[in-house]
Copies of this chain bind each other. A is one copy, B any other.
Amino acid sequence: MAKHAPVKITALDTYDIRFPTSRQLDGSDAMNPDPDYSAAYAVLRTDDPALAGYGLAFTIGRGNDVQKAALDALRPYVVGLTLDEVTNDLGGFAARMVGDSQLRWLGPEKGVMHMAIGAVINAGWDLAARRAGKPLWRYIAELTPEQLVATIDFRYLSDAITPDEALQMLRAAEPAKSARIEQLLAEGYPAYTTSPGWLGYTDEKMLRLAREAVADGFRTIKLKVGLSVEDDVRRCSLVRQTVGPDVAIAVDANQRWDVHAAIDWLRRLEGFDLAWIEEPTSPDDVLGHAAIRRAVSVPVSTGEHTQNRVIFKQLFQAGAVDLVQIDAARVGGVNENLAILLMAAKFGVRVFPHAGGVGLCELVQHLAMADFVAITGRKDDRAIEFVDHLHEHFDDPVTIRDGHYLAPTAPGFSARMHESTLVEYRFPDGPVWSEQTVAALH
């Protein structure tokens, strides 16, 4: 071996990690009554034992094994690459997986295979940021416009945004970047909270949590809706009375309705000055969202299940949304989310990133903060979702203070879980699951 042999990716280790969250009805909504928040977790090992990259795909339980199998299928695309091949060419690193003709057939660019590719791409970005000694938001923000654009696949986007337009937007932001970094470090980034609003909670628990949220500095609260319109009217009314007129209330139907049903239901909720209705119908239904938006005064939003940049493009082109969610672990990694953020900026659509689940807060904060610094310069007219679940399993958990995410300072993408979590929650043989199995037998 040569003295200066380059550091290489030596392994892609994968894990099926599940948390038994269904036991408390945390995370219950109109479409997902009993989720067990889970992660198909990916680690890019290198022959430097101190350096690895971490990523994950988030699922809600069954099928997390399929998601892990999709991660396993990506091993030949990454093992053996040098560190330089990954971190100096994150565009190429992503394109080899996204563009592989045989894997592409399994989507294209959607569902299990795309989420797995996204997780491995994100692990590559984590590796690059760790190597550079920067938190990911800052690593992205300090790329040159040319470097950033080179990571993005503009295929299918050129009727909405071109690489040249993206370059111009990024160059326009350059002079303000260092001041924005200081501002972000001082102020944090606004958060909103969904913790009070799960459908499985009693009114009393919901109102107690809403009061606590306001006391904790949150200016927006989100409630799950969609099982019973009478319940939703009552819950919105109670929360509005409790928090007063100055705290924003958003609602989330988690894809529950058909188009006409959404319109009828939302007309019943128009009196509560809602900040937005999230996922009123199928995430695939661009024209349906546009029809709902034309028919009701509640601002319309979707995005956490939006499969890729092509659907986002159409949401923008059709004027189907007032704002969007992005999700760090559903689309093709940081690269595709950068394309989505650039389109949102061009079309003037505000982004309220989706989080919660397992590690989604840890991940997506970096994208919102990079957007503030390098793209839009906006943060006080938007907010990142915050749910107070499962952060204790991460090495670098999010920090919330006075309703704001504090900017991470540790290197990387914050997705690394504790080694003990990987042992304890491994499905089906970790002690949390094997003990449950034992308990069920008695």
- Residues of A with Cβ closer than 8 Å to B? 31-36, 59-63, 65-67, 69-70, 73, 100-116, 155-159, 255, 258-261, 281-288, 291, 305, 307-308, 310-311, 313-314, 317-318
Contacts and interface: CB of A to CB of B under 8 A. Distances in A.
B105 A63 contact: yes
A105 B307 CA distance: 11
A158 B69 contact: no
B112 A70 contact: yes
Given A35-B105, A110-B284, A112-B112, 5 more contacts: A63-B103, A66-B69, A66-B73, A111-B111, A159-B288
Candidate in A32, A111, A308, A310 with the most chain B CB atoms within 10 angstroms: A111
Contact of A260 (B61, B100, B158): B158
Contact of A63 (B32, B106, B258, B307): B106
B284 A101 contact: no
Contacts of A155: 258, 282
16 contacts: A33-B101, A35-B105, A60-B102, A66-B70, A66-B113, A67-B106, A108-B282, A110-B111, A112-B112, A156-B282, A156-B284, A282-B310, A284-B314, A285-B313, A285-B314, A287-B318
A435 B358 CA distance: 44
Contact of A69 (B32, B65, B258, B310): B65
A100 B110 CA distance: 19
Interface of A is mostly: loop
A81 B245 CA distance: 54
Contacts of A69: 65-66, 69-70
A327 to B, nearest CB: 11
Candidate in A62, A67, A73, A313 with the most chain B CB atoms within 10 angstroms: A62
A250 B310 CA distance: 26
B66 A283 contact: no
Contacts of A317: 287
Contacts of A261: 158
Nearest to A108: B305
A61 to B, nearest CB: 4
A209 to B, nearest CB: 23
B59 A63 contact: no
Nearest to A100: B62
Contacts of A110: 107, 110-111, 284, 307
A204 B299 CA distance: 59
A114 B112 CA distance: 9
A126 B399 CA distance: 55
A308 B287 contact: no
Contacts of A311: 284
A190 to B, nearest CB: 27
Nearest to A105: B60
6 closest A-B pairs by CB: A111-B111, A69-B69, A112-B112, A62-B102, A61-B102, A159-B259
Given A111-B110, A111-B112, A285 B310 contact: yes
B35 A158 contact: no
A307 B291 contact: no
A438 to B, nearest CB: 19
A135 B259 CA distance: 37
A56 to B, nearest CB: 14
Contact of A158 (B31, B114, B258): B258
Contacts of A32: 101-102, 105
A156 B283 CA distance: 10
A404 to B, nearest CB: 29
B286 A287 contact: yes
A35 B101 contact: yes
A348 B108 CA distance: 28
Contact of A111 (B107, B156, B258, B285): B107
A145 to B, nearest CB: 22
